[in-house]
């Protein structure tokens, strides 16, 4: 049995070598052979995405009260990045900018309504994945920043609002698949922590707001 296995292996090796020679694969000039896999991930890309985010805003008033409010809303935006395929292990970097409807509204009583949320945010992240042919699972993480806003509307429809820049971090994971040589689709989850900022000049005094949320989104990329 062992001799039969050796004989079969040798026969297959000789047959494949002869076939390669007939097709000219052993020469470096054959158009039928390329050292770069068709499903390689290297290159610059850009695309668009859309999804939904949810989380909470923690409000800490000057009176010392701490209130958690659930947030939610749609997100959409664009991303651009670069991948380097190291023979199956893919590393790269990506930046994105998102319009955000993540927020909430709260009745403060006396005809006054408070609204708070994240109007826009973006990230700059590293990515690392495993290229499994045309599919690549990956993890990602890095820097995040966004613009938050808090506003109140009283019973006379007088609006008082403040905006502030939040900075923090993000981490997540996703799955990207090549639809063609240049077009890929992806599904991704990100957790975003934008930290705490103070909003001043509001009726009732200053307010410290912490913005944290998760985002699930789908995207489309074009590789140049």
Element (H, E) at 109: strand 89-109
Provide CB contacts within 8 A for 167, sequence distance 6+.
143, 144, 145, 194, 195
DSSP 182: S
- Cα–Cα distance for residue pair 141/154, rounded to 1 Å: 41
- Cα–Cα distance for residue pair 70/103, rounded to 1 Å: 8
Element (H, E) at 13: helix 2-23
Element (H, E) at 193: strand 183-199
Cβ count within 10 A of residue 129: 23
pTM: 0.78
10-residue mean pLDDT profile of the chain (224 residues): values are 40 39 42 48 97 90 78 97 94 97 87 90 98 96 96 87 94 97 96 92 79 96 96
Q: What pLDDT score was predicted for residue 15?
A: 40
Q: What pLDDT score was predicted for residue 86?
A: 94
Beta bridge partners of 186: 176, 219
């Amino acid at each position: 049995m062992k001799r039969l296995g050796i004989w079969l292996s040798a026969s297959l090796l000789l047959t494949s070598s002869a076939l390669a020679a007939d097709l000219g694969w052993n020469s470096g000039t054959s158009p039928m052979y390329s050292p770069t896999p068709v499903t390689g991930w290297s290159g610059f890309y850009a695309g668009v995405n859309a999804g939904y985010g949810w989380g909470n805003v923690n409000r800490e008033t000057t009176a010392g009260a701490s209130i958690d409010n659930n947030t939610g809303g749609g997100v959409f935006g664009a991303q651009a990045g670069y991948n380097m395929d190291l023979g199956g292990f893919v590393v790269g970097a990506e930046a994105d900018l998102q319009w955000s409807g993540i927020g909430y509204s709260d009745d403060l009583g006396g005809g006054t309504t408070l609204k708070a949320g994240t109007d826009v945010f973006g990230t700059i992240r590293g990515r690392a994945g495993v290229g499994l042919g045309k599919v690549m699972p990956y993890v990602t993480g890095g820097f995040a920043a966004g613009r938050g806003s808090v506003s109140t509307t009283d019973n006379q429809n007088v609006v008082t609002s403040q905006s502030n820049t939040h900075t923090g971090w993000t981490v997540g994971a996703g799955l990207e698949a090549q639809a063609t040589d240049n077009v890929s689709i992806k599904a991704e989850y990100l957790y975003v922590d934008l930290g705490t900022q103070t909003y001043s000049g509001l009726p009732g005094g200053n307010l410290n707001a912490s913005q944290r949320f998760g985002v699930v989104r789908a995207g489309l990329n074009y590789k140049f």
